[in-house]
Structure 1
């Protein structure tokens, strides 16, 4: 297989995988659930469906293929910056059948275009970047739609097998990451997005990081110790936020006598103590870390723990090396609808012995979302540049809801520190004693 054939095959596979998932997420409920807004934080599912098709049309058929616009009158309806999520149900959106037909027609034309596209000549087509960008965009909206499924009330609509049970993790609770410089970000990952670029050297002092994400059981100890009632552990903004919103536990949790229950995709169950805690905001993660006498890792610390290989003195694509993720490495791709127990996936650990850095839960870091030195927006400022600043905190590593195409050791996610509906957890760190 030639390099061009391999790129074309990769693009085709990732586009099909994304569309199969979109179809699952939009066909498992009836039309009223597609057009309803299940939370003011989220779009109606039918908006996401047509938005996916519209972005694909704009960037592949128009920008790459030079084709005439199919439905120019709907561009503004599906512009994420023109219409906040809370107001999208009031727009004259395409009804479900029409949205499905539009997305399918766009995809059919894109597959024809893929057969004739040369993967060189422009930054958009180099190494199939535009096709990879659109596959990642669709998978990101698939994760968003899965969040909407978690927020919707009513009977269970999605099912998936649980992760394999894992033996109780008895390894060290933390790992020392030696100080020194390492290469952060990337300049040669062909489908990396603009905020992951360029590769640059970053100096990091020695620090310790949790071997696994913080578990539900560990987080319950924080709750039982009065963590939500003790102002000492919270930033001023965090304390004001939890007081104002009467937050006393992770989202979807409720106490039933002496035990905690949670709602997960329409099913109520006992909170499993050995799973990573999920649906906590940055303020909660930060408060837990303070209570534990620790702190959240910086983004640079997280990436060094995930990518630095001391033996080769180099940065790898993933904690386990350069190979693409496989099922034995990480919990990705909505294969499961929950995190795996802490300590799972020993084959996915880093050279230093840190586990579950990829998959299971997005991990809050201490860092604001800022550009790397030499950052250049591409192909549009609205993907990253407009979000840079102290309003957003960085999350790393992906979750069980993230597809491998949209998850790398360099991949950066960001959100407001109050967000809890996302599949977010964390691990803690501490500086090495001097």
Structure 2
């Protein structure tokens, strides 16, 4: 039996088991005290992530499709719902996730294992008539868990950086040797009428979220993009040139945030005795000029582009440039958990992995987009306002999670994800 994407029950069962095991493996370096940390609103406690992804399977798969399923705890439906209004249970306030000492870490793991056992029963014993819908929702659930695996990595980093001890998540993570950035080169593209978005036609259509569809036409003027993202060394020049003190470089909202939040450099950068360091998941390190700059807001990326006399690529330009590029790079699978310098060679580099790349495009629906019916329609559609699109994945993203059409989105002020950018310019 195959689902709409061509995956058999056996394949999906193994993918489910791997995904569930990887979430728990990411938490192995944590102490019990770490599981409940929430130092900022946007970063949730690790135990909340572990429970929420289990809630997702329970809500959208086990309750509807597994007869006589027994819920682990009746109040978890409320505690671990993130933002779904149509489930009927409501949800605990996001900013108060770190105020809950109970359930304990052990109870959360018991909850996960309860859901795991039930999910395996569902996959193996699901009625043939229900399987297409189960398989579709399971695909969403697996990709949803991968999103929260990335959030586990980035949220742990945010919480540990709040601690003046600057603790290490993993002390022995690999490091790139300190080096100067490779010269930046430009890759021209002709533009013209191009296709954007995921093709959902045919029985073997690839999985994608609803916000990647429908595929549609976009006209692009000729343009060029940088062959790699902007580096720490290049961004340091912007800092030292007074970039954070010059209102002429900033969008109005961005300049207001600079003043209110007293930004003077990217998140996690610190100047100590005249030398720049940055917080990583292995503790403090010297700033490596060759690494892609990251943990930047959209406003900072845009201000740098203005300072450099360039701009950010639109998401259509980015996808067109990435369309023929192999999906390879520095992902969470590689275990660096930190951006690496661009490799040598010609052509576009680091479009995938290392850092999510801010684009100049607002997160809006594609022409003809319709959100799916029901609570799952809240996954993406209701956030299509006041956010900006990022592309390409990061060093905390799974390799098999990303694709050229993948649209990530965040509010322009947020910095805690591995977010960087590359420059673009219009050709005349």
What range describes the TM-score normalised by the shorter chain of this pair? 0.7 to 0.9
Q: Provide closer, same or farther for how the CA distance between residues 376 and 65 of structure 1 changes in structure 2, counting only shifts above 3 A.
A: farther
Q: Distance in 2 between matches of 1:119 and 1:333?
A: 35
Name the residue aligned to 1:217. 233
Unaligned runs of 5+ in 1: 310-318
Name the residue aligned to 2:111. 102
Of 351, 356, 375 in structure 1, the residue corresponding to residue 350 of structure 2 is 356
Unaligned runs of 5+ in 2: 84-90
Tell me if structure 2 keeps the 8 A contact 1:42–1:85.
Answer: no
Is 1:393 matched with 2:368? no
Tell me if structure 2 keeps the 8 A contact 1:64–1:124.
Answer: no
Name the residue aligned to 2:242. 226
Of 291, 301, 306 in structure 2, the residue corresponding to residue 275 of structure 1 is 291
The DSSP-based 3-state class of the residue aligned with 2:343 is coil
Name the residue aligned to 1:208. 224
Q: Provide closer, same or farther for how the CA distance between residues 85 and 378 of structure 1 changes in structure 2, counting only shifts above 3 A.
A: same
Tell me if structure 2 keeps the 8 A contact 1:136–1:405.
Answer: no
Aligned positions of 1:249-264 closer than 5 A: 249-264=265-280
Q: CA offsets per residue over residues 167-226 of structure 1, 9 Å max, x none?
A: 987676110111112221113343201101111111111111110011111111111111
Tell me if structure 2 keeps the 8 A contact 1:369–1:388.
Answer: yes
TM-score computed with the length of structure 1 as normaliser: 0.87
Q: Provide closer, same or farther for how the CA distance between residues 369 and 213 of structure 1 changes in structure 2, counting only shifts above 3 A.
A: same
The DSSP-based 3-state class of the residue aligned with 1:287 is helix
The DSSP-based 3-state class of the residue aligned with 1:106 is helix
The DSSP-based 3-state class of the residue aligned with 1:255 is strand
Q: CA offsets per residue over residues 342-384 of structure 1, 9 Å max, x none?
A: 236x6xx9xxx21111111001111111011121223623211
Q: Provide closer, same or farther for how the CA distance between residues 168 and 226 of structure 1 changes in structure 2, counting only shifts above 3 A.
A: closer
Name the residue aligned to 2:152. 145
TM-score computed with the length of structure 2 as normaliser: 0.88
Q: Provide closer, same or farther for how the CA distance between residues 172 and 233 of structure 1 changes in structure 2, counting only shifts above 3 A.
A: closer
Aligned positions of 1:167-246 closer than 5 A: 173-188=185-200, 189-246=205-262
Aligned positions of 1:297-316 closer than 5 A: 297-307=313-323, 309=324
Q: Distance in 1 between matches of 2:351 and 2:252?
A: 29
Of 70, 75, 78 in structure 2, the residue corresponding to residue 76 of structure 1 is 78
Is 1:384 matched with 2:369? no
Name the residue aligned to 2:362. 368
State the Cα distance separating 1:69 from its structure 2 match.
Answer: 5.0
Q: Provide closer, same or farther for how the CA distance between residues 289 and 66 of structure 1 changes in structure 2, counting only shifts above 3 A.
A: farther
The DSSP-based 3-state class of the residue aligned with 1:72 is coil
Name the residue aligned to 1:56. 57
Q: Provide closer, same or farther for how the CA distance between residues 10 and 163 of structure 1 changes in structure 2, counting only shifts above 3 A.
A: farther
Q: Provide closer, same or farther for how the CA distance between residues 429 and 66 of structure 1 changes in structure 2, counting only shifts above 3 A.
A: farther
Tell me if structure 2 keeps the 8 A contact 1:393–1:415.
Answer: yes
Of 60, 80, 89 in structure 1, the residue corresponding to residue 98 of structure 2 is 89
State the Cα distance separating 1:9 from its structure 2 match.
Answer: 4.0
Of 127, 130, 133 in structure 1, the residue corresponding to residue 140 of structure 2 is 133
Root-mean-square deviation (CA), in Å?
A: 2.5
Q: Provide closer, same or farther for how the CA distance between residues 293 and 69 of structure 1 changes in structure 2, counting only shifts above 3 A.
A: farther
Q: Provide closer, same or farther for how the CA distance between residues 69 and 186 of structure 1 changes in structure 2, counting only shifts above 3 A.
A: farther
Q: Provide closer, same or farther for how the CA distance between residues 276 and 23 of structure 1 changes in structure 2, counting only shifts above 3 A.
A: same
